[in-house]
Chains A and B, each alone.
Chain A
Amino acid sequence: MTNKEDKKYGVLLMVLIPIAIIFLGYLFSKDPGQSHGKSRKGASSIYSIWLTEAEVAPTKKDQSQWDVDGTAPDLSAMVVWKDQIILNTVTSNDSLIARWDPIAISVGDVFQGEVSTSTVKRIARIRSIKGEKFSIGLFDEDIVSRDYVGGWEIDTGELRTGTCELTSKGTLNRLIISVTQDDNLTVPDREFKIKGATYLEEPNDIMLETVKRWAKEAKESVKELGNNVGEKIEKIGEQVEQQRSRLEEAIKETSKKTEDKIREMLDALRNK
Chain B
Amino acid sequence: MRRIILFLIIISCFLFGSASILPIFSIEPAVGEWTALAEILSPAEMQPQSFSLLEGVRLLWQENEKILAVIIGLFSLLLPVIKLSVLWAEALFSGTLSKKWMSFLRAVSKYAMLEVFLVAMTVLLLKQMPGGSRITLESGFYAFGVSVLLSLVVAQFVETQKRESEGI
A interface residue numbers (CB < 8 A to B): 10-11, 13-15, 17-19, 21-30, 32-33, 36-38, 103, 116-117, 120, 182-186, 188-190
Contacts and interface: CB of A to CB of B under 8 A. Distances in A.
Contacts of A185: 41-42, 44-45
A125 to B, nearest CB: 12
Given A23-B17, A32-B22, A117-B41, A189 B88 contact: no
Interface SS, B side: helix
Interface in B58-88: 62-64, 81, 84-88
A36 B45 contact: no
Interface of B: 9-10, 13-23, 40-45, 49-52, 55, 62-64, 81, 84-89, 92-93, 96, 138, 140, 143
Nearest to B88: A18
A45 B20 CA distance: 25
Contacts of A38: 49-50
A190 to B, nearest CB: 6
Contacts of A190: 62-64
Contacts of A32: 22
B28 to A, nearest CB: 14
Given A21-B13, A29-B17, A188-B63, A37 B85 contact: no
B14 A25 contact: yes
A184 B49 CA distance: 13
B27 to A, nearest CB: 12
Contacts of B84: 18, 22
Nearest to A13: B92
Nearest to A182: B44
B40 A116 contact: yes
Contact of B43 (A13, A28, A117, A189): A117
A13 B81 CA distance: 13
Contacts, number: 103
A14 B93 CA distance: 10
B9 A18 contact: yes
25 contacts: A10-B96, A11-B89, A13-B89, A14-B92, A18-B87, A21-B17, A22-B20, A22-B84, A24-B14, A24-B17, A25-B19, A27-B17, A28-B17, A29-B22, A33-B23, A33-B52, A37-B52, A37-B55, A38-B49, A38-B50, A117-B43, A182-B44, A183-B43, A184-B42, A190-B62
Contact of B93 (A10, A28, A103): A10
Contact of B14 (A10, A15, A21, A33): A21
A26 B143 CA distance: 12
Contacts of A33: 21-23, 52, 140
B13 A10 contact: no
A117 B18 contact: no
Contacts of B10: 21
Contacts of B17: 21-29
Given A19-B81, A189-B64, A120 B22 contact: no
A28 B52 contact: no
Contacts of A27: 17
A19 B92 CA distance: 15
| A-B CB proximity, top 5 nearest | A25-B17, A14-B89, A21-B13, A22-B17, A29-B18
B44 A13 contact: no
A10 B85 CA distance: 11
A183 B13 CA distance: 39
A100 to B, nearest CB: 16
B52 A18 contact: no
B42 A29 contact: no
A28 B55 CA distance: 17
Given A36-B50, A37-B52, A117 B40 contact: yes
A184 B44 contact: yes
- Among B13, B43, B50, chain A packs the most CB atoms within 10 A around the CB of B13
